[in-house]
């Protein structure tokens, strides 16, 4: 009887140990998969590939030719490399932490009678019209990361978002049609804005300036970009450094319903700044005694 109990307890301990090992390996695999998915299609994957090549080549040379100094440097560079990776991948880590901080963002879908739903509807209809007429367009949707530095490069509009206004902005002979229109909530903040081009060369060589600018701003911020090609009329969307192409208005509407979540409430500092500007304008408008 004692032997049976010892056998059962030993088997249970081995099973628990195996389950813990499996769970440990699964968690590590999920972590590395998430990291690779996060940096895929960005400059981070190129940097990581370069570091891996340098380390592997150094290790092979050190083992084959018995290079003691190189081997010592490789062994002792691992702690420094971990710190360097945090610095190199700071934008990707920031985006990952932002996504973890708002896990319910993808679970709720906006209705068409909400501000987000109305914005998505205007964008989908406008993109279809622009695509039909082959008018190039680049529309940037601001989310939690402020786009103030890019807004300053364009012409401030601060106008209600509408299909008519977007068509006027991106009319081929309009002065602002070459730049980007930045949307905050239900308003077009500015148009004719200049955006940074993507630094990722892989798969972007055949893309035009609008598409590369859309990928570039989505690599640096959490903005969502809608692009209409002037040559083909093709509708595309860029998010998190990646681009999905060949969309119609219905597909664009569905994608935006999943990924587009603007800031629900503006920061108090921005509210105070807007209130201060309004008070100053009201004071300037009043006649002096």
* pLDDT tens figures, 198-252: 887 655 667 889 999 999 999 999 999 999 999 999 999 999 989 999 999 999 9
Residues 6 or more apart whose CB falls under 8 angstroms from that of 283 comprise: none
Residue 247 parent element (H or E): strand 242-247
The pLDDT value recorded for residue 107 is 44
pTM: 0.55
Give the length of the chain: 289
**Interatomic CA distance for residues 195 and 216, integer angstroms:** 7
pLDDT given at position 203: 56
Q: Which CATH class is domain 111-263?
A: alpha beta
23 in Cβ contact with 31 (< 8 Å): no
Helix ranges (H only) for the chain are 2-39, 43-65, 68-88, 90-101, 115-133, 148-151, 163-169, 209-220, 249-259, 268-285
Low-confidence ranges of the chain (pLDDT < 50): 104-110, 264-269, 272, 279, 284-289
Domain boundaries, the chain: 2-103, 111-263
């Amino acid at each position: 009887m004692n032997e049976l109990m010892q056998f059962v307890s030993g088997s249970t301990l081995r099973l628990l140990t195996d389950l813990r090992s499996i769970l440990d390996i699964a968690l590590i695999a999920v972590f590395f998969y998430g990291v690779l998915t996060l940096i895929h299609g960005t400059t981070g994957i190129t940097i990581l590939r370069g570091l891996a090549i340098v380390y592997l080549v150094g290790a092979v040379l050190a083992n084959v030719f018995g290079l003691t100094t190189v081997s010592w440097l490789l062994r002792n560079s691992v702690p420094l490399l971990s710190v360097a990776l945090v610095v190199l991948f700071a934008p990707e880590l920031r985006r990952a932490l932002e996504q973890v901080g708002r896990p319910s963002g993808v679970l709720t879908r906006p209705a068409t009678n909400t501000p987000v739903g109305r914005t998505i509807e205007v964008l989908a209809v406008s993109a279809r019209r622009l695509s039909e007429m082959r008018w190039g367009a680049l529309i940037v949707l601001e989310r939690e990361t402020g786009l103030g530095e890019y807004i300053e490069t364009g012409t401030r509009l601060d106008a209600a978002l509408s299909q008519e206004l977007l068509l006027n902005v991106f009319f081929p002979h309009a002065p602002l049609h070459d730049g980007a229109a930045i949307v905050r909530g239900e308003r077009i903040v500015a148009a004719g804005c200049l955006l940074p081009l993507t630094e990722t060369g892989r798969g972007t060589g055949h893309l035009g300036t609008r598409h590369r600018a859309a990928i570039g701003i989505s690599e640096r911020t959490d903005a969502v970009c809608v692009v209409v090609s002037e040559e083909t009329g093709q509708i595309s969307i860029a998010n998190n450094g990646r681009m999905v192409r060949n969309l119609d208005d219905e597909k664009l509407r569905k994608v935006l319903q999943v990924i587009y979540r603007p800031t629900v409430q503006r920061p108090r500092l921005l509210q105070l700044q807007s209130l201060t500007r309004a008070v100053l304008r009201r004071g300037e408008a009043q006649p002096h005694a």
